[in-house]
Amino acid sequence: MAWVAVAAAEEIEEEDVIEVSVGELVLAIYRTRDGYFATDGICSHQRAHLAEGLVMGNIIECPKHQGRFDVRDGSAKGPPAAIALRTHPVKIADGRVHVDI
């Protein structure tokens, strides 16, 4: 467990997502009205970068097949998404987004 600063908090607009890489780990960092969240950056269904998808409320919709996940707990919310995304704890400190990986 280690906290890693991955982006400036202001870099992410509300209802949006960016992709960051930490070593070989690809992460999607979300900002919603409920705060900042992090999940694995690649869709659990098939190969697609979630940061190219669409954030609506607390839902990320995959750009490839429009499978839906709740970014807060990674749960699959709409086919063809069927397997939950792995989530990562997030905190904001000194204006930066930190992810526990």
Q: Does the protein bind other proteins through residue 82 (CB under 8 A)?
A: yes
Shortest CB 38 distance to other proteins, Å: 19
Three-state DSSP at 50 gives: helix
Q: Which is nearer to other proteins, 35 or 79 (CB)?
A: 79
Bridge partners for 19 per DSSP = 28
Peptide bond into 79 cis (omega under 30): no
Count how many Cα atoms sit within 13 Å of the Cα of residue 35 in the half-sphere of its side chain. Answer: 10
Which string of b and e fits 60-71 if b means at least 16 CB within 10 Å?
A: bbbebeebbbbb
Site map (CB under 8 A) of other proteins, residues 12-51, x = contact = ----x----------------------------xxx----
Shortest CB 91 distance to other proteins, Å: 26
Q: Which residues form the interface with other proteins (CB under 8 A)?
A: 16, 45-47, 52-54, 56, 61, 63-68, 78-80, 82
